[in-house]
Amino acid sequence: MKLIIADIENIPFEVHGEYKMIRPQEKIHNCIGCFGCWVKTPGICVIHDGYETTGSDMGKCSELIVVSRCDYGSYSPFVKTVMDRGISYIHPDFVIRKGEMHHKRRYKNVIALSAYFYGENITEREKWTAGKLLKANADNYDGKVKEIKFFESIEELEGIRV
What pLDDT shows up at residue 159?
82
**How many beta carbons lie within 10 A of that of residue 142, not counting itself?**
19
Query: Sign of the CA dihedral 40, 45, 48, 52?
Result: negative
The pLDDT tens digits of the residues spanning 83-110 come to: 999 999 999 999 999 899 999 999 999 9
Domain range 2-159, CATH architecture: 3-Layer(aba) Sandwich (3.40)
The pLDDT tens digits of the residues spanning 43-53 come to: 999 999 999 99
- What ranges do the domains of the chain cover? 2-159
Chain centroid to CA 61: how far? 11
The pLDDT tens digits of the residues spanning 4-24 come to: 999 998 888 889 999 999 999
* Gap between the Cα atoms of 27 and 34, Å rounded: 19
46, 107 in Cβ contact below 8 A? no
Q: At 137, phi and psi to the nearest 5?
A: -60, -45
